[in-house]
Amino acid sequence: LAGGVGHELRNPLGAIKNAAYFLNMVVDTPDRETKEMLDLLEREVAKTERIVSDLLDFARVKSPFRHKVAINQTIHAALSLIETPDNIQVTSLLAEDLPDLLADPGQLEQIFSNIILNGIQAMPEGGQLTIETRLDNPQWLAVAITDTGSGISPVILAKIFEPLFTTKAKGIGLGLAIIKTLVEGHGGTITASSAGAPGRGSTFTVRLPLQSTGKGE
C-alpha cells in the first residue's frame, strides 16, 4: 500500500512542481500576495515529496551495499548534513582506534543524521547533544546519541519504532521505523531509553556487528 500510494502520488506532484516553476519563470513582478502563494506552493510540494519518499523508503528498503567504513568518519559526515542551532552544544566522545565496519556508508549516514536531527528537535529551548562511539565487546560496536530534552514517557517509548506512530505535528511517523529496518538490515539493533523527565533527555543506542551479518552481504 505504501509503495503504491507513493508511486501514484509522484506523477501529480511532479506536474504541480513543474507548474509552480513555470509560474515563477513567467511572472516577472508578482504582487506580494501572489509571491506568497507561489512560495507556499513550492514549500508544500517539497513537504509532500518528503512524505512520499518516506513511504517509498519504508516500502522498499534496500539491502546494504557494504564497504569498509570508519564509524567516526561516518558520524562526522552525518553531522555535516545538519545545521545545528546556536543554542545546542554538540559533544563528540569518539573512541580512538575503532575497527572498521563492513557496512553501507550511505545508510549509516541516514541512520545517524536522522537520530541526531530528532535529538535536536527534542531541545527547542537548547541543550546538549552527546554522541559517543565505543567498542561494546570484540564483536559489537555501539553508537549512543543522547539529548537533554524533555524525555520520552514509557508509553510512547514502547511504541516509538512502530510504523505510522508519531507525536509530532508534522510527518507521518515512518522515520524511526525506517531507521530500525536499516539497522536490522546490517544485523544490528537499536534501542531507546529515557528518564522521562525534563532535562534528563533520551538516549538512542545503535549496536552494529563487526562481523558481516544480516542482509546484503
Show Cβ contacts of residue 82 under 8 Å, excluding neighbours closer than 6 positions. 113, 116, 117, 120
Helix axes 2-26 and 32-59, enclosed angle (nearest 10): 160
Hey, which of 67-81, 146-160, 182-196, 198-212 has the most confident mean pLDDT? 67-81
Distance in angstroms (rounded) separating the CA atoms of residues 31 and 116: 40
Given a cut of 70, whether residue 198 has pLDDT beyond it is: no
If you average pLDDT over residues 175-195, what whole number do you get? 89
If you average pLDDT over residues 204-209, what whole number do you get? 96
Is residue 163 exposed (0-12), middle (13-18) or buried (19+ Cβ within 10 Å)?
Answer: middle
Question: For 95-118, how does the pLDDT look when each residue is reduced to its tens digit (9 = 90+)?
Answer: 998 999 999 999 999 899 999 998
| Among 111, 31, 119, 22, residue whose Cα is nearest residue 71 | 111
pTM of the model: 0.72
What's CA 159's distance to the chain center, in Å?
Answer: 17
Output 143 or 181, whichever has higher pLDDT: 143
| Among 135, 143, 157, residue whose Cα is nearest residue 201 | 157
Give the per-residue pLDDT at 217: 41
Output 25 or 116, whichever has higher pLDDT: 116
At 32, give phi and psi (nearest 5°): -60, -45
Given a cut of 60, whether residue 213 has pLDDT beyond it is: no
Given a cut of 70, whether residue 168 has pLDDT beyond it is: no
Work out the end-to-end distance of the chain between its first and last CA atoms, rounded to an integer number of angstroms. Answer: 28
Question: For 45-94, how does the pLDDT look when each residue is reduced to its tens digit (9 = 90+)?
Answer: 887 887 777 777 766 767 788 889 999 999 999 999 898 999 999 999 99
Sign of dihedral through CA atoms 53, 57, 58, 59? positive
